[in-house]
Structure 1
Amino acid sequence: MFDKDVSPDVTVYGPGDPELAVVCNVHGDEPTGARAVHRVLASGPEFERAVKFVVANPPASAAHRRGLDADLNRVFPGDPEADERERRLAAQLTEETADCDTVAIHTTHATPEPVAFVAEGDRRAVEIAAELPVGPVVNETPVTDSAFASTGGVVSVEAGRVEQPNAVAKAEMLIRTFLHAEGALPAAPPMHEPDAEYFEIYDRVEKPPGDESYELLARNFEPVAPGEAYAKSAEGLLTAEESFVPVLLSQSGYDDIFGYRGRAVGGTVDDALDAWVEGGA
């Protein structure tokens, strides 16, 4: 039996009661966020507001595994009495960040550029995402309604590719930008501000069962037209029945899917708020 006292690792820096949080290692095999946090703290910043820095899944991180009993990013809000470690951790992480604007750092196999994910109806998350140097902002609720972002006030960011050194630098920039925008750090990092685009995912792109010879042809966030091939394998081409925008498509990121089908919502915060939040902009 595992230690049922397992909990996230939480450290607070700065004066006052923390209303901001930076979360890393939701998945234990994604160390980029923790390395970026270490860089931020090693520079000796003078915090002007209190910030919680949270290692979400310490046991999976120690084992360098995505999860030990479940995928932590699919079991929110969790259960403090569950037999699965990740469900207990989800409940504790939900409580730890309940009163905080939060950015959670992830990495992906799909794209080297940062992508932000928010929950439908969460005005604050959309506003936080708009502060970050991120191009695509994606509403993930139609497909993944038990992710960390569903707890409210949380933006989950794929900072770059798994285990790529430049992903750490991008994650550090994202953290510093968030903390500066929220008044916790005095100086903003120099950065390139990409043009924001807003999308929502609505379905999964399934992999052919039993076929490992596939090759992706589509590029993430570039629309695929009806009848266009988005992948090929020894069995032939996979073509789109209807147009879609590929989101987090990769050959190795998931066991049973390539990624997700998405659609464009607009190019402004107001477009996103009108589409996802009651009362809109």
Structure 2
Amino acid sequence: MFDQDIAPHVIEFGPGDADLAVVCNMHGDEPTGARAIHRILEPSPEFERAVKFIVANPPASISNHRSLDVDMNRVFPGDPEADERERRLAAQLVTETANCDTVSFHTTHSTNEPVAFVSEGDPRALEIVSQLPITYVVNEASVVDGSFCSTGQVVSIEAGKVQQPNATAKAEMLIRAFLDNEGAVSEEPPMHAPVTNYFELYDKVDKPSGDESYELLARNFERVEEGEAYAKSKKGFLLADEPFVPILMSQSGYGEIFGYRGQKVGESVEDAKEAWLDEEK
């Protein structure tokens, strides 16, 4: 039976009404964001602007399970009357972060390097991510349904690989950069990646049905050419029928897919805006 009292756990620091938010633990088995937030808050920094820090899925976090009923990052905007806990929590999180510039932290099985995801429909999310020290930014809107990014000015970040200590350090660095860029905490000059590359998803990459012997050959964000093998198994090689850029591809991260096919749209926020905001799609 659904516990009527569960809700995202929210703590707030700084003067005024919060219009910034940092979200963690949407998936209960991904504690990296919470650990990074703890590192930032432990010395009791002085906030110059109000910020909400939010544990999105407390019951799954306590259980150390990815989810209890459904994947929370596939059911936004949620439903406050739903039977599934994550659907209710999603609806509450949308309300809690309404009108907030928001960064949300996850971890992945696919890459050590942080990857940011945005929805093409929100120009503010693009502005937020363009100021962060992150090399890869991906528009997921055309392939991924029901993600937190689809709800507004939200940037979702895969900080690194699951349970890797360096992922916590990278999440901490990115949160500090966000807080500094938005004038919430002044500690040091904003950090920037040498080059930010912008991509968009356009398809999933299916795993071979009934074959568990596959080995992934492709490397994330390194272009696979037409006819090139991107995976192999005892039954042979899987060859690309067209060029694509592998994104979040791994052997074990997903059940029925390796990950996603993408394409590069540019190396500046202006390139991304031209591709995602200035065209009728």
Aligned to 1:127: 127
Contact 2:24 2:105 in 1 (8 A): yes
Aligned to 1:70: 70
Aligned to 2:269: 269
Aligned to 1:205: 205
| SS at structure 2 position matched to 1:121 | coil
Q: How much has 1:192 moved relative to structure 2?
A: 6.4
The verdict on how the C-alpha distance between 1:189 and 1:34 changes in structure 2, with shifts beyond 3 A counting, is farther
The alignment covers a number of residue pairs equal to 280
Matched, 1:3 2:3: yes
Q: How much has 1:69 moved relative to structure 2?
A: 0.5
Aligned to 1:249: 249
Question: C-alpha distance in 2, partners of 1:233/1:189?
Answer: 49
| SS at structure 2 position matched to 1:143 | coil
Contact 1:116 1:155 in 2 (8 A): yes
Aligned to 2:108: 108
| SS at structure 2 position matched to 1:260 | strand
Aligned to 1:98: 98
Aligned to 2:231: 231
Q: Cα deviations across residues 32-51 of structure 1 (Å, max 9, x unaligned)?
A: 00000000000221100000
Q: Which structure 1 residue ranges, 5 or more long, are not aligned?
A: none
Contact 1:22 1:103 in 2 (8 A): yes
Aligned to 1:219: 219
Q: Which moved more, 1:51-60 or 1:204-213?
A: 204-213
Q: How much has 1:146 moved relative to structure 2?
A: 1.0
Aligned to 1:148: 148
| SS at structure 2 position matched to 1:77 | coil
Question: C-alpha distance in 1, partners of 2:66/2:270?
Answer: 35
Alignment of 1:80-91 (within 5 A): 80-91=80-91
Matched, 1:25 2:43: no
Q: TM-score, normalised by structure 1?
A: 0.97
The verdict on how the C-alpha distance between 1:170 and 1:45 changes in structure 2, with shifts beyond 3 A counting, is same
Q: How much has 1:262 moved relative to structure 2?
A: 0.2
Q: Cα deviations across residues 96-121 of structure 1 (Å, max 9, x unaligned)?
A: 00110000011000000100000012
Alignment of 1:158-169 (within 5 A): 158-169=158-169
Question: C-alpha distance in 2, partners of 1:111/1:189?
Answer: 27
Question: C-alpha distance in 1, partners of 2:119/2:274?
Answer: 14
Contact 1:28 1:65 in 2 (8 A): yes
Contact 1:110 1:253 in 2 (8 A): yes
Question: C-alpha distance in 2, partners of 1:58/1:83?
Answer: 17
Question: C-alpha distance in 2, partners of 1:141/1:5?
Answer: 32
Amino acid at match of 1:268: S
Question: C-alpha distance in 2, partners of 1:225/1:5?
Answer: 52
Q: How much has 1:145 moved relative to structure 2?
A: 2.8
Aligned to 1:48: 48
Q: How much has 1:19 moved relative to structure 2?
A: 0.5
Question: C-alpha distance in 2, partners of 1:258/1:6?
Answer: 34
Matched, 1:193 2:159: no
Q: Cα deviations across residues 175-204 of structure 1 (Å, max 9, x unaligned)?
A: 000000000011237856241000000110
Question: C-alpha distance in 2, partners of 1:3/1:103?
Answer: 27
Amino acid at match of 1:159: A
Q: Cα deviations across residues 57-93 of structure 1 (Å, max 9, x unaligned)?
A: 0000011111100000000000000000000000000
Question: C-alpha distance in 1, partners of 2:235/2:47?
Answer: 57
